[in-house]
């Protein structure tokens, strides 16, 4: 009788917890397997071998989503805020620098003991001369990173990487009221893409920039424009590295993101900061009401905020190169904007780029 009691209670507790453990272990193991597959793909690309596209099935996406990435990202964010003892800072940061190839000679403060925690180290500022802003071209890179894709938007679809697309409307959400925009002409056409193009003879363009963990984590204004609206999509926090972007269709539509929309001299302009695993925190400097990776998460929802009010009829003016926001670790920035048909990108897919360098011009 006593022996039965001794064994029955623990077995009951394990049985109640087993489904969660199995889910996390299976999802985590599969995520690890995908990381290994991504590594093999990167090695093939370095050797110049073209990798065929293989999209994930619905069950694979569901399994990946079973990993509690939002919870893990919040835990990682809290860990980043923990102040490290002075003697531990240099070993910890040196390991990170070695792992991700960080160039500390560009940092405004090179002394590793200066950074009290990992969060401060991730958000380190650069020396003013480290990133000169191109004054010739009209659109510059808002961040350091790798160019995943760029070009004209076609058929209301945008390429996240070559051969893998996502819906323009799903990514940006329903069109914003024209009362919040400064466009002088009414939108033309019936499709969502045509509604965003406000001037005759213009086209819609896009550019996707992936920020690796070792990159500079702040992002800046890519041109002179006015931000009139912010839309926040709570969502998943799956990895956005190129291997996963090649594997999961509409990855950027699944993940949490902050869409800033407004206008520049040629019409519609938008910048979207896409969250990722361990990047639950997206900060926009002029938007104190924005709170990302909140525990209250409603799938498929979004919330809007207008920067146009009775006291501010214009919105938030941004100058090219001006500080705009920051990530915690790396992530992705997507630019979608309107420009004349003769707009040309000065880029190659897969190239590394730094903040301030030219993306394109007329």
Q: Active-site residues: which are they?
A: 144, 220, 331
Residue 13 CB contacts under 8 Å (≥ 6 apart), including other chains? none
**Cα–Cα distance measured from residue 243 to residue 38, given in angstroms and rounded to the nearest whole number:** 5
Residue 287 CB contacts under 8 Å (≥ 6 apart), including other chains? 230, 305
3-class SS at 200?
coil
- Taken in order 337, 339, 342, 344, is the CA torsion positive or negative? negative
**Cα–Cα distance measured from residue 122 to residue 119, given in angstroms and rounded to the nearest whole number:** 5
**Cα–Cα distance measured from residue 227 to residue 318, given in angstroms and rounded to the nearest whole number:** 7
The size of the chain, in residues, is 362
């Amino acid at each position: 009788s006593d022996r039965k009691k001794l064994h029955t209670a623990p077995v009951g507790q394990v049985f109640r917890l087993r489904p969660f453990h199995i889910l996390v272990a299976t999802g985590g193991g599969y995520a690890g397997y995908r990381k290994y597959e991504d590594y093999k793909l990167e090695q093939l690309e370095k050797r110049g071998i073209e990798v065929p596209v293989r999209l994930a099935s619905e069950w694979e996406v569901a399994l990946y989503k079973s990993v509690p990435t939002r919870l893990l990202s919040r835990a990682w964010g809290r860990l980043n805020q923990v102040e490290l003892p002075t003697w531990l800072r240099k070993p910890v940061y040196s390991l990170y620098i070695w792992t991700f190839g960080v160039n500390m000679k560009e940092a405004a403060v090179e002394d590793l003991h200066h950074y009290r925690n990992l969060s401060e180290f991730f958000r380190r500022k650069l020396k003013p001369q480290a990133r000169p802003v191109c004054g010739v071209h009209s659109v510059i890179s808002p961040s350091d990173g790798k160019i995943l894709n760029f070009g004209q938007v076609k058929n209301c679809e945008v390429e996240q990487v070559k051969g893998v697309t996502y819906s323009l409307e799903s990514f940006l959400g329903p069109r914003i009221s024209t009362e919040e925009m400064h466009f002088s002409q009414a939108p033309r056409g019936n499709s969502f893409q045509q509604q965003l193009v406000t001037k005759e003879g213009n086209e819609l363009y896009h550019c996707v920039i992936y920020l690796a963990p070792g990159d500079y984590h702040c992002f800046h204004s890519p041109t002179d424009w006015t931000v009139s609206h912010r839309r926040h999509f709570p969502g998943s926090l799956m990895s956005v590295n190129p291997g996963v972007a090649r594997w999961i269709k509409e990855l950027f539509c699944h993940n949490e993101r902050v869409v800033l929309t407004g206008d520049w001299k040629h019409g519609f302009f938008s910048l979207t900061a896409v969250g990722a695993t361990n990047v639950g925190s997206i900060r926009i400097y002029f938007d104190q009401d924005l709170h990302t990776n909140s525990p209250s998460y409603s799938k498929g929802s979004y919330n809007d905020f207008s920067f146009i009010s009775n006291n501010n009829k214009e919105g938030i003016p941004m100058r090219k190169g001006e500080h705009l926001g920051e990530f915690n670790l790396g992530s992705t920035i997507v630019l979608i904007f309107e420009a004349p048909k003769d707009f040309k990108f000065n880029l190659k897919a897969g190239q590394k780029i730094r903040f301030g360098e030219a993306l394109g011009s007329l």
